[in-house]
Amino acid sequence: MKITLLYGTETGNAEMLADDIQAELEDAHEVACENLEDFAPADFDSDCFYLLVCSTYGDGDLPASAQPFAEAMADETPDLNGVHFAIFGLGDREYDTFAQGSEKLAALMAAHGASQLGDRIIHDASGDDLAEDLAFPWAQAMVELAQERLSQAA
């Protein structure tokens, strides 16, 4: 299966996690990993499944590397019907705006017609789990769900 990991990061944590997820999946799939700031909305491909990893910055805002992508989405208003994605958020429950960056990114994708598979999963930096402990099984489950959905649609 063709998979693209897209990450939005401020301090590099989402990038490191996306790289680790790529390493987990690439033996069985064709996997690319890109920073959202380097990804154009016109580059979405309905034959690819997208795993999004996004942190939150400031008052529940998208991280710096996701902001140019959000601006491009607003300017270009792409039609993402047929595009499937799943999203993993990074945050800290100590803040009132816990994981709102990933929530905003998911809403942005859906507003342009993309279909979210599964629930948005959130890692709490204040918790005991490592992000990978949640992200690896989540990514595998989402890829399996995407394979089922895309094979039914074919």
Query: Model confidence over 86-121: pLDDT tens digits?
Result: 999 998 888 777 888 999 999 999 999 999 999 999
Question: Region 127-139: what's the mean pLDDT?
Answer: 95
Q: What is the CA radius of gyration of the chain?
A: 14
CB 41 within 8 A of CB 75: no
pTM of the full structure: 0.94
Portion of the chain with pLDDT greater than 90, in percent: 82
Q: What is the pLDDT of residue 48?
A: 96
Residue 154 pLDDT class (50, 70, 90 cuts): low
Query: Model confidence over 21-46: pLDDT tens digits?
Result: 999 999 999 999 999 999 999 999 99
Look-up of token digits 């342009």:
112
- Please name which of 18, 15, 69, 64 lies closest in space to residue 40, comparing C-alpha atoms: 69
User: How remote is the C-alpha of 65 from its chain's centroid?
Assistant: 13
Q: Count of CB atoms within 10 A of residue 125's CB?
A: 16
